[in-house]
């Protein structure tokens, strides 16, 4: 092989190596699951590749890559170093990437634009939190635990983060009872899988269950709307922004909501316009208190690093509690001791009325009006008798004045004119309480709960006095 040919082959090999040195793979779900899209070239619009606003995790090989939430490398952009990013939620780019390019394809940016370095792969680890949304006390382990009673965390877990490998959680000690396999990810609420405050044992599970057994993959940001209060009726769930609920047949229908993972902004007009409110993670049994019952038309997630003014938040949700009966749970009836209806603030109601414009009375004949009053006075005096005589006389005088005034007008009738006038009044919401504060007594101890319907004389509870439906 001559020198020229060898040089050409070497140059081609160098070009291929250079291309392979910069590569990015986007995955549809967290932890590198679901559909994927790989490129070694810049992509100005992922719409053409069918992967726009779909990426939830990413693997970067070779040199850093810039990912942007706008087409044409516009909007908010972040530079990712080489490594594995199991979730784009922390950097506010979950389901938001629209364009991507390697750093060599552009002028190098500031270090401040780099995302946090990806974490090295961790082993099997699970962290339980006492409250939903990863709040409250927590407990982390990398070892199997046959009884969480010894760790002071038995029947206390309401949310969980799973890292590295799947973990099996059971509602019985010694891995007995009902068990569920959790894939790596963040589970903001364990209520949906029926394990809220019920986990008693846990262990890493490397082998996949033969017949399933996996819990639904966790969502980084998810919101579910219900057609009726109290999380009843038809529902609509989304993990992506929705600019118009009309397309999904759920416009102006939501009466309650459940928010998982991240904050969500809900608006009463399409395109995120009109009145908007930010909902924190939690369960909202009624949207009436915030004036959004049957009014939500658009919704979008709020990134973790976004700053939101306090006045834009909805009232904090009631602690997300699952009132459904657990498997083989014994139930009791507790006596209701007091009920208080809670109503919202009055709302302003406006309407338009058509009213007649007062006419000028310049054409009225004053002498004729006086004459009419005298005639009416005489008639009234003749008709009246006794004490009623004076009353009838006065009435006759008034009527006579009106008649005389009409007599003195010009013969041509005037056309009455009207105009539209807007009127408003404050309408009390007392006719329909937003919810009921209920106090009940069970085994000598007082408890409180909130209900979307008025209770009877008793409420159903479990052996710990917790409400059940």
For the chain, which domains are there? 19-113 (2.60.20.10), 125-204 (2.60.20.10), 222-312 (2.60.20.10), 326-353+422-469 (no CATH), 363-405 (no CATH)
Look up the pTM and report it. 0.33
Residue 403: per-residue pLDDT? 40
Closest residue by Cα to residue 106 from 70, 69, 75, 77: 77
Neighbouring residues of 256: CB distance < 8 A, sequence distance ≥ 6:
225, 226, 228, 229, 230, 231, 232, 283, 284, 285, 286, 287, 452
Residue linked to tokens 């594995």? 84
Rg of the chain (C-alpha set):
36
Residue 95: per-residue pLDDT? 87
Supply angle C-alpha 118, 119, 122, rounded to 5. Answer: 150
Q: Range with the lowest mean pLDDT among 7-21, 196-210, 353-367?
A: 7-21
CB hemisphere CA count around 75 (13 angstroms) = 17
Q: What confidence category does residue 4 fall into, taking pLDDT thresholds of 50, 70 and 90?
A: very low
pLDDT tens-digit series, residues 283-325: 888 898 788 999 999 999 987 777 888 888 887 665 445 566 6
Residue 112: per-residue pLDDT? 60
């Amino acid at each position: 092989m001559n020198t020229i040919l060898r040089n050409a082959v070497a140059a081609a090999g160098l070009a291929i190596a250079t291309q392979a040195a910069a590569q990015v793979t986007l995955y549809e779900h967290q932890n590198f699951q679901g559909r994927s899209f790989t490129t070694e070239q810049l992509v100005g619009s992922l719409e053409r590749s069918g992967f726009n606003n779909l990426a939830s995790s990413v693997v970067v090989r070779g040199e850093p890559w810039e990912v942007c939430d706008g087409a044409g490398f516009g909007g908010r952009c972040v530079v990712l170093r080489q490594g594995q990013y199991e979730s784009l939620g922390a950097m506010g780019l979950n389901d938001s990437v629209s364009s991507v390019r390697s750093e060599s394809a552009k002028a190098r940016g500031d270090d401040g634009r780099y995302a946090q370095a990806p974490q090295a792969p961790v082993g099997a680890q699970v962290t339980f939190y006492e409250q939903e949304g990863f709040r409250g006390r927590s407990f982390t382990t990398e070892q199997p635990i046959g009884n969480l009673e010894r760790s002071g965390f038995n029947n206390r877990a309401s949310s969980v983060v799973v890292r590295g490998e799947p973990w099996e959680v059971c509602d019985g000690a010694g891995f007995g009872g009902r068990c569920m396999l959790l894939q790596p990810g963040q589970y903001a609420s364990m209520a949906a899988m029926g394990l809220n405050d019920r986990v008693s044992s846990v262990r890493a599970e490397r082998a996949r269950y033969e017949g399933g057994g996996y819990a639904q993959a966790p969502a980084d940001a998810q919101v579910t709307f219900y057609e009726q209060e109290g999380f009843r009726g038809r529902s609509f769930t989304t993990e992506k922004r929705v600019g118009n609920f009309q397309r999904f047949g759920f416009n102006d229908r939501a009466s309650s909501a459940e928010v998982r993972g991240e904050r969500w902004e809900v608006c009463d007009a399409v395109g995120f316009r009109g009145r908007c409110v930010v909902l924190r993670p939690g369960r909202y049994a009624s949207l009436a208190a915030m004036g959004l019952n049957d009014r939500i038309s658009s919704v979008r997630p709020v990134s973790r690093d976004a700053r939101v003014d306090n006045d834009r938040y909805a009232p904090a949700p009631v602690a997300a509690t699952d009132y459904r009966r657990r498997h083989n749970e014994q139930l009791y009836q507790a006596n209701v001791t007091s009920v208080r209806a809670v109503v919202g603030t009055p709302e302003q109601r406006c309407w338009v009325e058509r009213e007649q414009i007062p006419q000028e009375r310049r054409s009225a004949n004053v002498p004729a009006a006086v004459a009419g009053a005298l005639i009416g006075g005489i008639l009234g005096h003749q008709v009246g008798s006794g004490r009623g005589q004076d009353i009838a006389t006065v009435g006759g005088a008034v009527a006579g004045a009106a008649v005389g005034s009409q007599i003195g007008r010009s013969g041509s009738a005037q056309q009455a004119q009207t105009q539209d006038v807007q009127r408003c009044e404050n309408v009390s919401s007392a006719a329909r309480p937003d919810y009921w504060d209920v106090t009940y007594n069970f085994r000598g101890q007082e408890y409180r709960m909130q209900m979307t319907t008025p209770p009877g004389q008793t409420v159903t509870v479990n052996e710990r006095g917790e409400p059940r439906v």
